[in-house]
Structure 1
Amino acid sequence: MIELKTPAEIERMHVTGRFVAEVLTEVGRLADVGVNLLDLEHHVRGMIKRRGAESCYWDYAPSFGKGPFRNVICLSVNDAVLHGLPHDYTLRDGDVLTADLAVTIDGWAADSARTVIVGTPAEEDLRLIRATEEALEAGIEAARPGNRIGDISAAIWTVAHDYGYPVNTEFGGHGIGRTMHEDLHVSNKGQPGRGMKLRPGLTLALEPWFARTTDRIVYDPDGWTIRSADGSRTAHSEHTVAVTEDGPLVLTRRSTEDG
């Protein structure tokens, strides 16, 4: 069942979204050469505890995972892009790091992800990240009353196509609200004018993610971390968005972002 949120409920999600944005900003600041992923994990644990929030990831056990997830943030490096299990890895110069975070505060969830470069950036990595960010903004722009889910998917895919990046359709965006994953799948590839009509009160997590040269994925032995099948680098951008009468409202916008 798809639950439309009231303006008051959207504002409660916005409170959570601001905190998620704060944490991801902090992770981006801390991600540097010589920093261990487990140190980032524990830092985020502290932030969540101090805020009185609850991790959506802890004990998460979907059908595609291997046992319950026992971390509070997904950290994926280089060719890893989704569900990266924090582990004993020290960041190196030029690494591409994706941080994905979802929490609830007072029963309302928000979910966001960003990809950053550690140390010296390579132009091809900057281009890949930029493509996911532009695709996300295109998807957000399409999240307006009267449009359809396919309009969001098509907007995301168009940006990927223009950049020349293939698109995987196994994992994409989703409904969000009282829990991290609510009904409604938002593919990163689709046709305009198709799917459910968007109505005010609909809340979605939109998350374009691309690998440079493949749309196929493989899993690490940990059963969680998803990588590009050919080892090419990846990037992932995500925001929680509310459809309102006045247009899309981004609930996880970081202060360092435009818009």
Structure 2
Amino acid sequence: LVSTDEASLEIALHQLAAAIDWPTASPLAGPDLATLVRVRLIEREGHRRSGSTRSWRPTTGRRAVILALAALLVLAAFAGAVGLGLPGLRIILAEPSDPPPSVGPSRSPGRSPATGPSPSEVISVPGSGLRLGQVTTLAEAEAATGLRIRLPSDPLLGPPDAVFVDRQRASQGALVWADRADLPASLQPGVGLILMAFDGTVDPSFIQKVIGGGSRVSRLSVGADPGFWIEGDPHLFFYSTEGDLNVNDSRRWVGDALLWSDGRTTYRIESALGREATLAIAESIR
């Protein structure tokens, strides 16, 4: 590939595509190959910006790999990129791969039969099929994450029906409310609303968002705090934490989302309530 021209490169890439054992489909709760490639490239860019002064001159072989990756990213057809500006966050949104025909509609969150919970598990613990971590108590979640997880005082909700903590994803805490007559079901059966909390105080200088064609983002304020309303097609979520730890929260979101930071903790609400009702809940958090 040292002296190849563009036509030869195109032929070589086609031959390479035929020789690679590509996965037949991405997991429903995970990003596709193009998304993962773009995330990895963005992570490398972030590391270079965060203090590396060593120049990087790719060898000829690396140039060829970069050209191949660039060709894959062109095929991904992302709509664009825009900075968010929430502390400690790097968010990358992209449309997940279509589910297999046996799973159901593309907007319905799915899971493989081997890993999915039984109907009794979904009913007994709302959110148990969403890979939110271990079931725990609010006090234990705060102790595990080091965060003060505040609760909404909006009378619509009441206390959460389940609390989870995920120590493998930078110690996230998640509160789940089951759906009911006054709290419509989200894309995940049995779940009406999810409130997540995680550390959002570091690395404010490099934040990236890539929006899939079916996702829309608008800026807003939650009280005096900056936030974003994200709606449309289901999307994926990545963020960075202390020490430039890149966390892949590859769970498919269950509804439209409100994302904001109070300067100490970053919160995310997912539900089917719509923007105004979700904003009212966020502003009731004390």
Structure 1 length-normalised TM? 0.31
Tell me which structure has the larger Cα radius of gyration: 2
